[in-house]
Chain A
Amino acid sequence: MDRRRAQIDAAVAEENAGSDALYEDAPCGHLSTLPDGTIIRMNDTLLSWLGRAREDLVGWRRFSDLLTVGGRIHYETHLAPLLAMQGTVGEIAVELRTADGARLPVLMSSVATRDDDGNLSRIRSVVFEARDRRTYESELLRARREADGERDRFQRLAGVLQRTLLPPQLPEVPAIETAAYYHPASLDEVGGDFYDLFRLPDQRWGFFLGDVCGKGASAAALTSLARYTLRSAAVHDPDPVAVLTNLNSVLAQEQDGFNPRFCTVLFGILAPAPDHATITLAGGGHPPPLVLRADGTADFVDLAGGQLVGALADPVFVRADVDLAPGDTLLLYTDGLTEARVDTARNRYDEHDLRRLAGSLAPASAAGIVGSLTGLLEGFGDGLDDDAALLAIGVART
């Protein structure tokens, strides 16, 4: 221990030879330690910040004794290794403990020097007071936390709103298989895709799938309007073209020139019968649905010529009848699926790709085709930049 004492005393004497006012009264703290942290010199400025007497610290205490416990662990696990390996650390934020127990936030830069044998011999540091910076940082951090919290709250709100615009689960239709999937483009905004399936009188069922223009709050309002108009119009007159015409009149009244209000929709009436089901469809500007047959083929239902709903005073809507035999499935989808980017060259998945895929999957149940396409959509990753909705209706195999 005496040998150690003598070493420290010699180091203190050597380090303190030739003191001057520039060092002692500098507008920053100066500090020298041995590699183990023993303080061998400290200037008047730092001593006064700490409220300590030179004889209590120099030659007796280690640098880590001046740190808070958190700071000590930070120092031992991060800063000491950095210094040992790099020989220098710069602008490290640490907190020192003053004599009266208060915390003094500082920024510290240190240089390690080596003796002729290459061993660490001294660590010399300058210390700058950083109260204002710490206050500013705390403010930044608080603002960041607040922003994070707001974003979470907003996403929750958007999620709740989104769910109110979609059926929580599809109703059970006797002898009919159904499946649906919805992929929101963003957690921050309510998407513009929608679908529904609902009971009508006389063992018939209405269903629709569509896509309103825009996103966010105005799209949510439009989706809500479209959804309830389609449902009530179907009760009033279940002819699919009449339903779309009715929706067109409602949306046309809503146009204000600044917020265009239109959508693309497929609307259908499903009439299950023993061993098959008949479907009457009308299309307004929407990508054509696909029928996957029990025999392994897949084809589009021709609804070409149907125009956007809400954009024109007297639009054309096209009707088609589809008969589903056992094992046949009708698939409705939105353009989020057929316009997903599949590579960096901006190539997009298109309707031909979808038909080819459907052909390779047919025959498929409603759950089967929706499951396969869900996997496909997830595989697009960032390439899927729009909402995507799927609704499949099939007659169970006997």
Chain B
Amino acid sequence: MDVLRRNHVVLTGPEDGPPVLLAHGFGCDQHMWRLVEPMLSATCRVIMFDFVGAGRSDRTEWSAARYSTLDGYARDVAEICRDLDLRDVVFVGHSVSAMIGLLADQLEPDRFSKLVMVTPSPCYLDDGEYRGGFSRADIDELLESLDSNYLGWSAAMAPIIMGNPDRPELGRELTNSFCRMDPRIAQVFARATFLSDNRPDLAAVRVPTLILQCAQDAIAPPEVGAYVHASIPGSTLVTLDATGHCPQLSAPAQTASAIRSFIDEPR
């Protein structure tokens, strides 16, 4: 199987630069990294990909059985690392991919040198003392909205031409792929994401870890970032002056510079 084609793997930056693997989260695809990628690829070997089912991945390789738990996505990451024989990788995972990275590190323990978790949450559901930010009813409502607003999710995912008249090719590219996901696939990914609980895995992380969070985030609120920070031994927490769940888009320069200084830190 051709993993690089299956996951639409894109490599940029100098071949001998330190490898940085960028993993997108639930919603959209590797285009989420569009604004930070140029800032990283000046010195780093940047590897971007789409999870199977997202973006321009090979959807014929998708199966509900494999991708209904985060382990399936972690296997995508592990297989890309094996295929490219990546060593000393800095893994950058956005949103749910922060936890996918942690699971991939368990599958391939000697590949990752550092982990960067961008707006992570180990568990979206409230549970006793723990505040994930969502009740079970909230998540059921999300899954129900994916179901009932089927055409909304699918049609809404077909974006219109980008406001980029000087680079029309970008508009076409995005029109064809960006943020488009078969609602059935999105449903499975949403369930895997929002019903996962990786809290027990946090304490076992052995690689240096940076947690990037936003001051305001409706999906992963600051308390959740603080919980991840407290649970991963020796981790660093940086709160960006940004709002929303996607600082790589709302504050790309801050995000890229935080990632770069973390890459440059001696281990």
Contacts and interface: CB of A to CB of B under 8 A. Distances in A.
A134 B149 CA distance: 8
Given A81-B249, A141-B150, A64 B145 contact: no
Interface residues of B, number: 48
B29 to A, nearest CB: 10
Interface in B88-124: 95
Interface string A86-107: 1111111111000000000000
Contacts of B217: 76
B245 A80 contact: yes
B243 A78 contact: no
Contacts of B144: 70
Interface string B189-213: 0100010000000000000000000
A73 B140 CA distance: 12
Contacts of B14: none
Contacts of A37: 243-244
Interface stretch (B2-10, B68-76, B154-162): B154-162
A93 B142 contact: no
Interface of B: 25-28, 31-32, 34-35, 95, 134, 138-139, 141-146, 148-153, 155-157, 159-164, 174, 178-179, 190, 194, 216-219, 243-246, 249-250
B146 to A, nearest CB: 7
Contact of A70 (B142, B178, B246): B142
A140 B149 CA distance: 11
A370 B189 CA distance: 41
Given A82-B159, A82-B179, A85-B31, A92 B152 contact: yes
Nearest to A140: B151
Q: List the 10 closest A-B pairs by CB distance, nearest first.
A: A93-B152, A70-B145, A77-B27, A87-B163, A36-B243, A70-B142, A84-B249, A69-B138, A86-B162, A76-B245
A78 B32 contact: no
A35 interface: yes
Contact of A76 (B34, B134, B219): B219
A152 interface: no
B250 A88 contact: no
Contacts of A71: 145
Majority DSSP secondary structure for residues of A touching B:
helix
A269 B170 CA distance: 70
Say which size band chain A's interface belongs to.
Answer: 35 or more
Nearest to A113: B163
A16 interface: no
Given A93-B151, A93-B156, A77 B162 contact: no
Interface of A: 35-37, 64, 68-74, 76-82, 84-95, 120, 134, 137-138, 140-141
B28 A78 contact: yes
Contact of B95 (A35, A69, A70, A77): A77
B249 A85 contact: yes
Contacts of A91: 155-156
A73 B119 CA distance: 14
Contacts of B26: 77
Contacts of A78: 27-28, 153, 156-157, 179
A133 to B, nearest CB: 9
Given A69-B142, A70-B145, A82 B219 contact: no
